């Protein structure tokens, strides 16, 4: 009788984490940025039917990278959980934090189980508030870890390159066109060299706090997306440039020059 091969729990967890990370990094990235009137999510996605970004509830959006069938199962489960809670209690009781906790439990249980492989996915759950300070962005990894993000966040692809690009150029309170153009440029840093991404290669959606209806989710497609990309190309902030200053001209309005330094 042969003895079973022993693998320590630490090595098992490391192998499972390496497996999930390697496969997730093969996918194209997703970037989420706060802008002056909400949250914009941008994914490199050439498929018009298979979405990486989807609405979960009135003010809540879901975005994912990795294996499609796995994050689609998670999206459907999140929609059902949100609908059940909103029906049983009140629509205001459905929050991004509650959904992030739900996903963290599911992913953590699967990752710790020795009978099934870990999910090869990373998720964003975001909720738009009445003000920018009340916006919520949560990033969940394959092992159920949750991070509360502010300003911007990235997952999938060459995360370090994209994140470093955004760290140098992101400014809070940007108009939608500038935030969108910056996200597209950042995603173009994924891989060797800089790539130019057009409207047909992107999936874009926003949570717009200015919408009067309860549902704040809106997809940007076709001519509307192309117009925003065109108008935002000239407003991308570069380090040390005048356009990087918070007092720059808002979209469609006059410039407000910053005060003279003391």
Write the pLDDT tens digit of every residue in 18-72: 999 998 888 889 999 999 999 999 999 988 889 999 999 999 999 999 999 999 9
Per-residue burial over 217-249, b = 16 or more CB atoms within 10 Å of its CB, e = otherwise: beebeeeebeebbebbeebbbeeeeebeeeebe
176-206 confidence digits (pLDDT tens): 999 999 999 999 987 667 888 999 999 999 9
1 vs 19, which has greater pLDDT?
A: 19
- Return the minimum-mean-pLDDT range out of 80-94, 120-134, 219-233: 219-233
Structure tokens at 59: 């003010």
State pTM to two decimals.
0.84
> If you average pLDDT over residues 218-238, what whole number do you get?
79
Under 8 Å between Cβ of 239 and 168 = yes
CB-count burial class (<10 Å; 0-12, 13-18, 19+) for 42: buried
Beta-carbon neighbour count of residue 90 at 10 Å?
Answer: 9
Per-residue pLDDT at 151 = 95
Beta carbons of 191 and 46 less than 8 angstroms apart: no
Q: How many residues does the chain have?
A: 262
pLDDT for residue 117:
92
């Amino acid at each position: 009788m042969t003895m079973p091969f022993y693998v320590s729990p630490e090595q098992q967890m490391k192998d499972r984490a390496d497996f999930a990370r390697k496969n997730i990094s093969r996918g194209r990235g997703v970037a989420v940025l706060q802008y002056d009137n909400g949250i914009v999510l941008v994914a490199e996605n050439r498929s018009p039917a298979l979405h990486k970004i989807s609405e979960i509830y009135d003010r809540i959006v879901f975005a994912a990278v990795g294996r499609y069938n796995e994050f689609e199962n998670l999206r459907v489960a999140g929609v059902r959980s949100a609908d059940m809670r909103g029906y049983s209690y009140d629509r205001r009781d459905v929050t991004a934090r509650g959904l992030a906790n739900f996903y963290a439990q599911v992913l953590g249980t699967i990752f710790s189980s020795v009978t099934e492989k870990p999910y090869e996915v990373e998720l964003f759950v975001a909720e738009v508030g009445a003000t920018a300070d009340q916006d919520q962005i949560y990033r969940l990894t394959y092992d159920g870890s949750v991070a509360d993000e502010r300003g911007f966040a990235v997952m999938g692809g060459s995360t370090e390159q994209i994140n470093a690009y955004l760290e140098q150029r992101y400014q809070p309170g940007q108009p939608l066109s500038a935030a969108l153009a910056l996200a597209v440029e950042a995603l173009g840093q994924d891989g060797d060299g800089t790539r130019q991404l057009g409207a047909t290669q992107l999936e874009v959606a926003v949570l717009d706090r200015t919408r009067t209806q309860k549902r704040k989710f809106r997809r940007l497609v076709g001519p509307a997306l192309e117009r925003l990309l065109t108008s935002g190309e000239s407003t991308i902030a570069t380090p040390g440039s005048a356009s990087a200053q918070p007092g720059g001209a808002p979209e469609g309005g006059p410039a407000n020059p910053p005060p003279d330094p003391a």
